[in-house]
């Protein structure tokens, strides 16, 4: 029997007065999978996460965590959550803060005491748990936030901009933590504006725009199969354009350079041979693979507020 989906939403809709935040959003996250939730500001990402955590009720549609409706408190016992904006009582020490979150998560005090040093070490705060949070840097506080999300060994972790306050070393450490979670069978739903970070750790991405998932899939599926080829010839005339159009869509012509959008199998070798046979001098033929940023901007350009 297949494992229960960590996250499943079907036609999720949320209306605030006259504003429709979600228009039938459908999303799946499997155990042991890292999924990036991407979209411009106001796309519906935060609303989706609030529904999953029980902070907001959906107007319509279905949302479950491991097969349990998100409206059932039992569904939330298996998740850890790091919001984008959070504040901790700064008079507490890092260790005391984690102990509080352990109690909130239903951990036995002895289990929390044993787990806290492990978590502090995991997020790069080993030996700093006795210091008051008011003395923490922004990056240290961010690490502590990640720690509280992982303390009770959740099966699903929701991370909203987890590397926003971290330096390059800190971002790499968070990537390592995410990879370790995946290796341990933990599902991760990652919301980040740093598309390069998403490309490095996510198995799949779901791009949200105006309350809908407009594209989802594995990274290699999204950024592959749609490469552009820049072809520079000694001359570009009608015959050359007709020949090029047989290998893809001509999307731009810049003097002696033609930009061709090709689908499927790389046509570059056959294209080069055809141009030479037709009597053209081929000065350059450069495949340009699109990035996740290219896909993202192409789907949501002009919709950000």
Lowest mean pLDDT among 75-79, 149-153, 217-221: 217-221
Asked if the structure places residue 70 within a domain, the reply is yes
Mean pLDDT of 30-35: 95
At 240, which CATH number? 3.30.70.100
Q: Which of 221, 247, 279 is the last residue of a domain?
A: 221
**Higher pLDDT residue, 186 or 300?**
186
Quote the pLDDT of residue 288. 74
Length of the chain: 305
CA-based nearest residue to 63, from 48, 81, 44:
48
Q: CB-based burial of residue 268 (10 Å sphere; 0-12 exposed, 13-18 middle, 19+ buried)?
A: middle
Name which of 29, 3, 31, 37 is nearest 183 in CA terms. 31
pLDDT of residue 249: 84
Pair (56, 101) in one structural domain: yes
- Give a yes or no: residue 108 inside a domain: yes
Mean pLDDT check: name the lowest of 99-113, 150-164, 211-225, 244-258: 211-225
Residues 236 and 118 in one domain: no
User: What is the mean pLDDT of the segment spanning 47-52?
Assistant: 94
Residue 226 has pLDDT above 60, yes or no: no
* Per-residue confidence (pLDDT) for residue 267, from 0 to 100: 80
For residue 277, name the pLDDT band (cuts at 50, 70, 90): very high
Q: Are residue 85 and residue 192 in the same domain, yes or no? A: yes
- Verify that 12 and 78 share a domain, yes or no: yes
On whether residue 1 sits in a domain, the answer given is: no
Q: Is residue 150 part of a domain?
A: yes
Q: Do residues 158 and 278 both lie within one domain?
A: no
Looking at the DSSP bridge assignments, the partners of residue 258 are 231, 253
- Mean pLDDT over 222-229 rounds to 68
Query: Using one digit for the tens of pLDDT, what is the confidence trace for 278-292?
Result: 999 999 888 776 677
41 and 146 part of one domain:
yes
**Residue 88 predicted with pLDDT over 60:** yes
Domain that holds residue 234: 225-289
Tens digits of per-residue pLDDT, 117-153? Answer: 999 999 999 999 999 999 999 899 999 999 999 999 9
Q: For residues 239 and 42, what is the distance between their CA atoms, to the nearest angstrom?
A: 47
Say yes or no: 269 and 155 in one domain.
no
In a domain, 295, yes or no: no
pLDDT value, residue 53 = 93
Which one of 221, 237, 262 terminates a domain? Answer: 221
Domain tally, the chain: 2
Q: Strands, E, within the chain: which ranges?
A: 7-16, 19-29, 34-38, 60-65, 68-69, 79-82, 156-160, 187-191, 204-209, 212-218, 228-233, 249-254, 257-261, 282-288
Q: Distance (Å, rounded) from C-alpha 216 to C-alpha 204?
A: 7
Domain identity same for 145 and 241 = no
Higher pLDDT among residues 294 and 256, named by residue:
256
Instruction: Select from 221, 255, 279 the last residue of a domain.
Output: 221
Q: How far apart are CA 155 and CA 78, in angstroms?
A: 5
Q: What is the CATH number of the domain that holds 186?
A: 3.40.50.300
Q: What token pair was written down for 155? A: 């099966």
In a domain, 304, yes or no: no
Whether residue 175 has pLDDT greater than 60: yes
- Whether residue 303 lies inside any domain: the answer is no
Whether 78 and 153 have beta carbons less than 8 Å apart is answered as: no
Average pLDDT over residues 262-267: 68
Look up the pTM and report it: 0.78
3-state helix, strand and coil shares in percent for the chain, rounded to the nearest 5 = 35, 30, 35
DSSP code, position 243: H
With respect to residue 305, please indicate whether it lies within any of the assigned structural domains.
Answer: no
12-27: average pLDDT: 93
Does 22 share its domain with 72? yes
Can you give the pLDDT at residue 1? 35
């Amino acid at each position: 029997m297949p494992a229960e989906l960590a996250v499943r939403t079907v036609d999720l809709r949320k209306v605030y007065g006259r504003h429709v935040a979600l228009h039938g959003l459908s999303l799946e996250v499997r155990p042991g999978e890292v999924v990036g939730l991407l979209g411009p500001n106001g796309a519906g990402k935060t609303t989706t996460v609030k529904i999953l955590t029980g902070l907001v009720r959906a107007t319509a549609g279905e949302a479950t965590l491991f097969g349990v409706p998100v409206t059932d408190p039992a569904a939330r016992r298996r998740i850890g959550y790091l919001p984008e904006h959070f504040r901790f009582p700064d008079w507490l020490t890092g260790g005391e803060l984690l102990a509080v979150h352990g109690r909130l998560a239903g951990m036995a005090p002895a289990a929390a005491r044993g787990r806290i040093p492990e978590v502090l070490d995991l997020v790069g705060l080993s030996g700093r748990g006795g210091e008051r949070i008011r003395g923490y840097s922004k990056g240290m506080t961010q690490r502590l936030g990640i720690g509280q999300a992982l303390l009770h060994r959740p099966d699903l972790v929701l991370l909203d901009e987890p590397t926003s306050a971290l330096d390059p070393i800190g971002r790499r450490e968070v990537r390592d933590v995410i990879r370790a979670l995946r290796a341990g069978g933990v599902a991760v739903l990652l919301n980040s504006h740093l598309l390069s970070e998403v490309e490095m750790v996510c198995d799949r991405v779901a791009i949200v725009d105006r309350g809908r998932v407009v594209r989802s899939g594995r990274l290699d599926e999204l950024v592959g199969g749609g490469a552009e080829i820049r072809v520079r010839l000694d001359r570009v005339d009608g015959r050359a354009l007709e020949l090029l159009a047989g290998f893809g869509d001509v999307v731009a012509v810049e003097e002696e350079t033609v930009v061709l959008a090709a689908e499927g199998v790389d046509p570059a070798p056959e294209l080069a041979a055809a141009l030479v046979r037709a009597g053209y001098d081929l000065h350059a033929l450069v495949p340009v693979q699109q990035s996740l940023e290219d896909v993202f901007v192409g789907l949501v350009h002009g919709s950000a507020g």
